[in-house]
Structure 1
Amino acid sequence: MLVFVSPGRAGAGSARVVDATTAEVVADHRPSDLAAWMANFEVSEHPRWILPAVDELYPQLLQKDIRLSRCYDLTLSEGLLLNHEGRRGSHRNPGAAWARLHGRVEPEDKPPPAKDAQPALFELDERFYSLDQLAEVYTDQQRRILASAHPDRLRLLVTSESAGALAAAEMSHCGLPWSEKVHLELLESMLGPRPLPGARPAKLADLAEKIIAAFGGRSLNPDSPPSVVKAFAREGIDIPNTRAWVLKEVDHPAVEPLLEYKELARMWTAHGWSWIESWVHDGRFRPEYVVGGVVSGRWATRGGAALQLPKALRKAVRALPGWSLVVADAAQLEPRVLAALSEDQKLAEFSRDVDLYAGLAADSFEGDRGKAKIAMLSAMYGGTSGGAGPLLAVLRKRFPQAVGHVEQAAQAGEQGRMVRSQLGRTSPYPSESWRALMERSEGTEDEMRKSRQASRDWGRFTRNFVVQASAADWALVLLVVLRRRLTALAPAAEIVFYQHDEFMVHCPASAAELVRTEVLASAKEASKLVFGDTPVQFPLEIATVDSYADAK
């Protein structure tokens, strides 16, 4: 059963119940309390909800302790389909899809919601949308999926993206268990007591003095890269920037305190005392996840930097008393994905081991694991520097099917063509300025060099896109399968973190072993759904811990 939902003002709205098999309308409803009506209908019928945009509606339902099991997000689906078709158009506002169907002017994309915004319940954009419009957009999207080269794969992608949006809202609502006490102790041990407004922490102030002393006492601002570059220039040392890898090549007494200053300053500005006040409440860190926020399908966050937590801060991620954190990490996911994508049987054999690189090293690189890793990363990312070329040649000879797969993707990118993930997530077209460079048949040597470089750069992007986006397909499907399994078998367990190929569940300690079993089962199911009967193994490293810091 499908239920189309059109939120209205003051908590009211309208809903249309449709038979999923016959597509016939069963009934239209106009409840004055849409949330309550949806809660009752979810319990009694378990329908698939057809929603304009999950991220605008579902968080408000969660505030009322209303959870949905299944949905279809018209906004996310439209974005996927537009990219799949190589079309441009606004999709953050779902009304744009209806406008395109009727040749009307498309409304502009809506900006993301501001942090801590408190809209009235279901007070959405007034340009949207009658139930007839919702149904028309949904029907058109289903037609486009069916017309694709692999409708089953694309349907799985669209379905998983929508379910992922439910999981993202639930994770934000639940929050990552966070010990403010541990975090504050960590800050004080690293930086000293909290400074007065406008002042540096004591440790940074001390390091700043050491840096200045190393430059002969001449004033400089260690927070300003141009100031630091000028200070080195006065010492007769030319550096292009102040990145850590550049500084590590410099022999000067200022380098050591400067590197330490940069690391601690990042902690202070990105995850210091102000961060705690903004993001940690009631023992939980609640980031705002952006589903498919990266073109490859990986998630992003809107503020809070949840996907860039420093290792030191993992100590602050702590299970509640009597609870555990079950942390799962896919081992060397992208090389395994390449083996499955390319159907390279030789490479698939090495996926049986948790350490795939060790097997490759023993087979093709005289036991040198480092060389095996460089070769594989060069194949997937297009690197040729630092001796990678000869290593890649060995890999190409040993696994021509796998290397050929990414090289074909690179060639497509160099020619300005699209490439797709396993489930159909599609790379964007290069920019108009890129195409203008490619159309240049003559010019100065520098202009032609820039044209060739731009072509190679886009080829490196598409080379990695097919692997990274397919890995994102697998991880997303695992996430939504795990969400379904936990809801049925361990409802007290909460998925609290998801990052690329890593998953974290917060659960009663007594349920940890069951959760571990369900995570492993979810990985197997995801592999079957995404890659079919592939011989490639996707092992997970799973740890049950009290603190995230103990998981690795």
Structure 2
Amino acid sequence: MARIRLSRLPGDRVLVTEDDAAREIALGDLPRLVREREAAAPRWVWDDTARWYPPLLAAGVRVERCHDLRLCRRLLARAPAVDPGLLRGEETRLWDTLGPVVASDPVLFGAADSADHLRADVEDARQLAAVAASPEAARLGLLLAAESAGALAAAEMTHAGVPWSIEVHEALLVDQLGPRPPRGAPPRLLAACADDVRRHLGAPGLNPDSHPELLAALRRAGLDVADTRASTLQRLDHPVAEPLLRYKKLAHLFHTNGWAWLDEWVRDGRFRPSYQPAGSVTGRWSSNGGGALSFPAQVRPAAVADDGWVLVVADVAQLEPRVLAGMSGDRELARAARGADLYQGMVDAGAVASRQHAKLGLLGAMYGATSGESGRMVADLTRRYPQAFGLVEAAARAGERGQAVRTLLGRGCPPLGASWDESPDAPATDLADQDRRRRAHGRFTRNFVVQGTGAEWALCWIADLRNRLWRLGGDGPVEARAHLVFFLHDEVVVHAPADLADAVAADVTAAATAAGRLLFREMADDFPLSVSVVRSYADAGKPGT
């Protein structure tokens, strides 16, 4: 497979390097070059997908494969199976500090910043050499390809956007908050709710958004509360509880997804969030804006497919326990995972008495529960599933010792730090603090290996799915065909012509199966999906959908 490396040059120029040949082209000619070469399915190598790909998508050009040097360098620099010395050389300081471009507002070239003119061919050679020298080269190669494919999917989702009805969203706001208020003023129904809170507490000047003020007013009213969380307020036997809970709900809607959110994030009938692939150390995505990874139920009715189109929504059941079964090679747990409900599979196998016990035990193992009913279940299930439970226990012990742990494909966990193993002559209070830090890091590494491998499975899922969707055919660019519009850890949403709904649902399921086989080979257990074909995202998962 050809690797075509693109480097930015001053003066709206691009250096194109392939094999030993290099040439310069004008920036304006890049979409034509990519369109012509894409028929041979090369791998495009560039510093940051969020910088290069959006202008290509705007020109109607889709890329099948890329290698994102920024993302892959971060991954390789932390991978235990990679010699970091092989990543050092020309411009490495600039590569190490290169940050992500916000995909919703890409800037392709900087005027003077040397970090905007890095040589992709030089860095690509370093990364290829580092992978080739690793004893885990095959796994790392798959991880780099999946990470880069995720960056392509993120750029495409931002470009296409989630179909969004401003009319439905505004109707929701008016119904719950009242008419849109002047800038800087609260909406009418929210203000009325705040007045009810003040009246019940006898605090006419109270600002309900101020945690210290609200806590003090509650205590003056004789309510002994430690915080103002919803769970705490729900237990109060006082007339202020109901309006205060309602105020918190409405205030969250107003400040998080109110009119200001609509103005900033919804354009031309599309919500266009800014995703950050590998935004967390486990490889899970985060969001640079718009709250893409936390769609509140209050506004989901506004996510409505275009006329003649549908949303195909799919989420996988119990992803991390299934990943643990596959990566540990525990055949007993893998057998329990062959079905829609892994926890019930454990009950049917006689491992536990109830589904709740199965859930408590597995989650306790992955998150480090040592006491109570969850801790007892962990002890019992360790004897039944020694490989699965032994894997997370070994990761925890390694983390406590400050040793490196990694995911199935080789993503490395951040180190505990240089200070945890200070001199044994340190004061007792320092030693106690070090011990707490060791245990906390052990709990983190225990979950890191599973959550990180789950993120790898999900990347393989969407990487395969985006190509399957493209092969369904159609005319025009990405957004004119069936395409991904949303991804959250273990859930995807596809916007598709209604007549392709069944084909899309089949592809979503086939891609999940393929991801399991790719990562876990003969140990591949089921990754059953809940699939809904709906007009509105709010209807996903409801009976009859």
Alignment TM-score, normalising by the size of structure 1: 0.90
Partner of 2:4: 3
Partner of 1:22: none
What amino acid is the match of 1:459? G
Q: Does 1:67 align with 2:62?
A: yes
Partner of 1:539: 528
Q: Alpha-carbon deviation of 1:106?
A: 4.7
What amino acid is the match of 1:546? R
Q: Alpha-carbon deviation of 1:397?
A: 2.4
Partner of 1:52: 47
Q: 1:388 and 1:273, CA in 2 relative to 1: closer, same or farther beyond 3 A?
A: same
Partner of 1:526: 515
Partner of 2:287: 301
Which aligned pairs between 1:467-478 and structure 2 lie closer than 5 A? 467-478=450-461
What amino acid is the match of 1:517? A
Contact kept? 2:319, 2:454, Cα under 8 Å: yes
| Distance in 2 separating the partners of 1:239 and 1:88 | 54
What amino acid is the match of 2:175? S
Contact kept? 1:229, 1:238, Cα under 8 Å: no
Correspondence for 1:101 among 80, 89, 111: 89
User: Helix, strand or coil: the match of 1:533?
Assistant: helix
CA shift digits 1:74-123 (9 cap, x unpaired): 1111110001149999xxxxxx997x31497557724544686464x544
Q: Does 1:225 align with 2:214?
A: no
Partner of 2:477: none
Partner of 1:188: 174
Contact kept? 1:204, 1:261, Cα under 8 Å: yes
Q: Does 1:292 align with 2:265?
A: no
Partner of 1:127: 114
Partner of 2:482: 493
Partner of 2:25: 31
Which aligned pairs between 1:206-245 and structure 2 lie closer than 5 A? 206-217=192-203, 219-245=205-231
Partner of 2:154: 168
Q: 1:63 and 1:327, CA in 2 relative to 1: closer, same or farther beyond 3 A?
A: same
Q: Alpha-carbon deviation of 1:327?
A: 0.9
| Distance in 2 separating the partners of 1:63 and 1:423 | 33
Q: Alpha-carbon deviation of 1:279?
A: 0.4
Contact kept? 2:361, 2:378, Cα under 8 Å: yes
Partner of 1:503: 492
Q: Alpha-carbon deviation of 1:202?
A: 2.1
What amino acid is the match of 2:174? E
> Unpaired runs of 5+ in structure 1?
19-24, 90-95
Correspondence for 1:81 among 76, 84, 87: 76
Q: Alpha-carbon deviation of 1:255?
A: 2.5
| Distance in 1 separating the partners of 2:424 and 2:5 | 50
Q: Alpha-carbon deviation of 1:236?
A: 4.2
CA shift digits 1:369-415 (9 cap, x unpaired): 22321221111111345532212222222222211111111111111
Q: 1:320 and 1:280, CA in 2 relative to 1: closer, same or farther beyond 3 A?
A: same
Q: Alpha-carbon deviation of 1:215?
A: 1.6
| Distance in 2 separating the partners of 1:257 and 1:10 | 60
Partner of 2:14: 13
Q: Does 1:480 align with 2:475?
A: no
Q: Does 1:368 align with 2:354?
A: yes
Which aligned pairs between 1:351-362 and structure 2 lie closer than 5 A? 351-362=337-348
Partner of 1:276: 262
Q: 1:160 and 1:366, CA in 2 relative to 1: closer, same or farther beyond 3 A?
A: closer
Partner of 2:427: 443
Segment drifting more, 228-237 vs 69-78: 228-237
| Distance in 1 separating the partners of 2:93 and 2:155 | 31
Segment drifting more, 385-394 vs 271-280: 385-394
Q: Alpha-carbon deviation of 1:442?
A: 5.0
Partner of 1:416: 402
Q: 1:36 and 1:536, CA in 2 relative to 1: closer, same or farther beyond 3 A?
A: closer
User: Helix, strand or coil: the match of 2:207?
Assistant: coil
| Distance in 2 separating the partners of 1:37 and 1:289 | 27
Q: 1:319 and 1:87, CA in 2 relative to 1: closer, same or farther beyond 3 A?
A: same
Q: 1:488 and 1:387, CA in 2 relative to 1: closer, same or farther beyond 3 A?
A: same
Q: 1:106 and 1:196, CA in 2 relative to 1: closer, same or farther beyond 3 A?
A: closer
Segment drifting more, 80-89 vs 343-352: 80-89
Q: 1:367 and 1:297, CA in 2 relative to 1: closer, same or farther beyond 3 A?
A: same
| Distance in 2 separating the partners of 1:44 and 1:423 | 30
| Distance in 1 separating the partners of 2:397 and 2:15 | 50
Partner of 1:92: none
Segment drifting more, 107-116 vs 410-419: 107-116
Q: Alpha-carbon deviation of 1:485?
A: 1.5
Q: Alpha-carbon deviation of 1:238?
A: 4.0
User: Helix, strand or coil: the match of 2:290?
Assistant: coil
Q: Alpha-carbon deviation of 1:41?
A: 3.1
User: Helix, strand or coil: the match of 1:294?
Assistant: coil
| Distance in 1 separating the partners of 2:256 and 2:472 | 38
Contact kept? 2:82, 2:131, Cα under 8 Å: no
User: Helix, strand or coil: the match of 1:295?
Assistant: coil
User: Helix, strand or coil: the match of 1:506?
Assistant: strand
Which aligned pairs between 1:423-462 and structure 2 lie closer than 5 A? 423-433=409-419, 435=420, 439-440=423-424, 443-444=427-428, 446-462=429-445
Correspondence for 1:257 among 222, 237, 243: 243
Among all aligned residue pairs of Structure 1 and Structure 2, give the percentage whose two residues are the same amino acid.
Answer: 41
Correspondence for 1:139 among 125, 131, 135: 125
Q: Alpha-carbon deviation of 1:363?
A: 4.3
What amino acid is the match of 2:44? W
| Distance in 2 separating the partners of 1:262 and 1:365 | 43
Q: Alpha-carbon deviation of 1:72?
A: 1.0
Between Structure 1 and Structure 2, how many residues are aligned? 533
Q: Alpha-carbon deviation of 1:549?
A: 1.0
RMSD: 2.6
Q: 1:448 and 1:211, CA in 2 relative to 1: closer, same or farther beyond 3 A?
A: farther
CA shift digits 1:338-368 (9 cap, x unpaired): 1111111111111112111222244457643
Partner of 1:348: 334
Correspondence for 1:404 among 390, 400, 404: 390
Q: Does 1:246 align with 2:247?
A: no
Q: 1:376 and 1:169, CA in 2 relative to 1: closer, same or farther beyond 3 A?
A: same
What amino acid is the match of 2:240? A
Segment drifting more, 411-420 vs 102-111: 102-111
Q: 1:382 and 1:252, CA in 2 relative to 1: closer, same or farther beyond 3 A?
A: farther
Segment drifting more, 160-169 vs 526-535: 526-535
User: Helix, strand or coil: the match of 1:307?
Assistant: coil
| Distance in 2 separating the partners of 1:201 and 1:6 | 50
CA shift digits 1:105-163 (9 cap, x unpaired): 557724544686464x54477525889x4323212211211222321111000011111
Contact kept? 2:42, 2:65, Cα under 8 Å: yes
Q: Alpha-carbon deviation of 1:519?
A: 1.2
Segment drifting more, 320-329 vs 110-119: 110-119
User: Helix, strand or coil: the match of 1:141?
Assistant: helix
User: Helix, strand or coil: the match of 2:487?
Assistant: strand
> Unpaired runs of 5+ in structure 2?
475-480
What amino acid is the match of 1:127? S
| Distance in 2 separating the partners of 1:315 and 1:285 | 13
| Distance in 2 separating the partners of 1:124 and 1:168 | 26
